[in-house]
Amino acid sequence: MKTIAWDVDDVLNDLMASWFDHWRKGRMCGVRYEDLKENPPAGILGMDMRQYLASLDEFRLSPLYQEMLPVGPVLEWFRKNGSRYRHIALTAVPFRASAASARWVLKNLGVWVRTFHFVPSSRRDECLPVYDENKAAFIEWMGKIDVFIDDNPEQIRAADMAGVRTFLFPRPWNVGGKNVEELLGELECL
């Protein structure tokens, strides 16, 4: 049975779109979600990185994060094909938000996703031991992951170099990947 590692935010859920909709309420903002061609989008939104990360982390720790639904086509894929594979969640999230992320995964996809792993995203006020520099380092250490799905091209490149089959999940800040339906269709053929 093959093992698929899924990024959480912006693959299993729509974090950026949900956060962005919440953030822009009450603001005069002519930027649309589709215009977020960079991740992180701090520069596009006229914020400094610390403001952006603080706002994103605040959202992650709020009830709004827990209220997000899984990405519709992904949830349908799990319902149809999930039992054919082993699944793990592999995300980069700050330590303070890791429990909220794990809770979201297990609440929404725990029928199929049985383990949760994270590589801590750096935050100024968190000093943690470094076991893995990135998700690819974790994948190499674990040694049992056949497929990795992420929205971050850098994470995908690193995992490719580690010899794992990868899929770039389509989002406005990445290009050249398949659409969601094509990606999920290819997963069915593993």
pLDDT in tens, 134-160: 999 999 999 999 999 999 999 999 999
Domain co-membership, 96 together with 157? yes
> Residue type for 19, please?
W
Q: Which of 98, 90, 32 is nearest to 65 (CA)?
A: 98
pLDDT at 127 over 90: no
Domain co-membership, 99 together with 180? yes
Range of the domain at 51: 16-66
Q: Is 23 exposed, middle or buried (0-12, 13-18, 19+ CB in 10 A)?
A: middle
Alpha carbon distance 77, 152 (integer Å): 21
Q: What is the mean pLDDT of residues 111-122?
A: 93
Domain co-membership, 175 together with 116? yes
Domain count of the chain?
Answer: 2
Domain co-membership, 167 together with 92? yes
Alpha carbon distance 107, 128 (integer Å): 27
Confidence of residue 177 (pLDDT cuts 50, 70, 90): confident
Domain co-membership, 102 together with 183? yes
Domain co-membership, 130 together with 51? no
The pLDDT of residue 171? 97
DSSP letter assigned to residue 33: G
pTM of the complete model beyond 0.85 = yes
133: tokens are 């520099």
